[in-house]
Amino acid sequence: MLGAGSFGTCLAMLCAGVHDVVLWARDPAVSRAINQDRRNPRYLTDFELPQRVRATSDLKEAVAGQPLVICSVPSHGVREVAAAAAAHFAPGAILVSTVKGIETETGLTMHQVLEEVLRGERAPRLVCLSGPSFAREIAAGKPTVVTVAAKDEADAKQVQKALSCPTLRCYSNPDMVGVELGGALKNVIAIAVGISDGLELGANARAALMTRGLAEITRLGVRLGASPLTFLGLAGVGDLILTCTGDLSRNRTVGLELGRGRKLVDILAGMKEVAEGVRTTRASCTLAGRVGIEMPIAFMVREVLDDVLEPRDAVARLMTRELKSEAS
């Protein structure tokens, strides 16, 4: 398990119900605390980790000989961590990415980043996991349903069987691009919904942003080769609903605070965990411009994040855009 943030920690807890788990933490102090106290000192601190979870800060120790490795590091760290771990993967290993983001510099999804970095005979088989899944609820044993995607259906099914248990149900999907884009782009729309809620614009506005936001996600996804049906599933509308309405959503929280008048730098300074939507907003706008796709909500969120527009002015611009067909 690569990454001892909230999601890596909760999956380590879940997998430890059946398997011995090696959990990699970048900071040696975190791995020592987990091994000594059976608690992550930074994330999900109120949960005790099972004895079958062993933490380390040595990438080789975490990866070598493992038939299945899960990557749950922040999106901006995936390339670096994958490159450092590349030489240590076991032949035929599967690498599952749970990372919901787009690389800012390249516009690549996480499995595309991993494909660039992990080449050759020792390259692991890649699978991505996404869907409506707050880490705290997984750790608490609450029912969660996600989807796993791979180019080879047999790989997706292998991960599906390995991770599914009474509290986590996994579906399979062949659309890696769609599953990853749905998981990444819903964070952008969650910031928009948070801004609207922070401005107290009401339930009508929230529903409109979620619906039109899904249209933007689908437009970009289809242009990049995804199936439109993927965005009607767990990694699309399912994750969108959760992230836009759940109180545990970091991205919605960023939007709420922006809508209430706080500056982005101050909001992020007070957060312990990464709000992936901030980076993803900028990456998605660059990507949309590159392929000629209109994403007005995403572009307005970027203007607010960059302090170019006040939140109320962004709303006014969205509401007074040129009138169009809903299908356009």
Query: Are residues 200 and 296 located together in one domain of the fold?
Result: yes
The CATH number of the domain holding residue 167 is 3.40.50.720
Query: Are residues 38 and 125 located together in one domain of the fold?
Result: yes
Instruction: Name, in order, each residue with C-beta under 8 angstroms of 266's C-beta and a sequence gap of 6 or more.
Output: none
Structure tokens belonging to residue 204 = 């009508």
Query: Are residues 14 and 147 located together in one domain of the fold?
Result: yes
Angle between helices 250-259 and 296-305 (to 10 degrees): 70
Query: Are residues 243 and 297 located together in one domain of the fold?
Result: yes
Query: Are residues 73 and 183 located together in one domain of the fold?
Result: no
Residue 129 pairs in a beta bridge with 148
Report the C-alpha gap between 105 and 283 in whole angstroms: 7
Report the C-alpha gap between 206 and 202 in whole angstroms: 7
Query: Are residues 73 and 105 located together in one domain of the fold?
Result: yes
Report the C-alpha gap between 139 and 76 in whole angstroms: 25
Give residue 200's domain range.
Answer: 177-319
What's the domain count of the chain? 2
Query: Are residues 46 and 75 located together in one domain of the fold?
Result: yes
For the purposes of burial, counting CB atoms within 10 Å of the CB of 269, is it exposed (0-12), middle (13-18) or buried (19 or more)? exposed
- Residue 328's pLDDT is 79
Is residue 294 domain-resident?
yes
Is residue 326 domain-resident?
no
Is residue 324 domain-resident?
no
Query: Are residues 193 and 302 located together in one domain of the fold?
Result: yes
Chosen domain end from 123, 143, 174: 174
Query: Are residues 37 and 163 located together in one domain of the fold?
Result: yes
Yes or no: say if 318 and 300 are a contact pair by the CB < 8 Å rule.
yes
Is residue 198 domain-resident?
yes
Measured over all CA atoms, what is the biggest interatomic distance in the chain, rounded to whole angstroms?
Answer: 61
Is residue 104 domain-resident?
yes
Taking phi first (over 0 means left), then psi (-120 to 50 degrees means alpha), and beta for anything else, what does residue 45 get?
Answer: alpha
- Residue 273's pLDDT is 87
User: How many whole angstroms from its chain centre is CA 126?
Assistant: 16
Chosen domain end from 147, 174, 201: 174
Structure tokens belonging to residue 153 = 């259906």
The CATH number of the domain holding residue 300 is 1.10.1040.10
Query: Are residues 14 and 126 located together in one domain of the fold?
Result: yes
Structure tokens belonging to residue 110 = 């996480």
Is residue 74 domain-resident?
yes
Instruction: Name, in order, each residue with C-beta under 8 angstroms of 262's C-beta and a sequence gap of 6 or more.
Output: none
Could you give phi then psi for residue 295, rounded to 5 degrees? Answer: -135, 75
Is residue 196 domain-resident?
yes
Report the C-alpha gap between 36 and 202 in whole angstroms: 48
**Distances from the Cα of 128 to the Cαs of 49, 72, 159, in angstroms?**
24, 11, 10
Structure tokens belonging to residue 45 = 């601190």
Query: Are residues 104 and 15 located together in one domain of the fold?
Result: yes
b/e string for 239-248 if b means 16 or more Cβ within 10 A? bbebbbeeee
pLDDT tens-digit readout, 7-27: 999 999 999 999 999 999 999
Catalytic residue annotation: 186
Query: Are residues 168 and 186 located together in one domain of the fold?
Result: no
Is residue 1 domain-resident?
no
Residues of the chain with pLDDT under 50: none
Taking phi first (over 0 means left), then psi (-120 to 50 degrees means alpha), and beta for anything else, what does residue 89 get?
Answer: beta
Chosen domain end from 150, 174, 198: 174
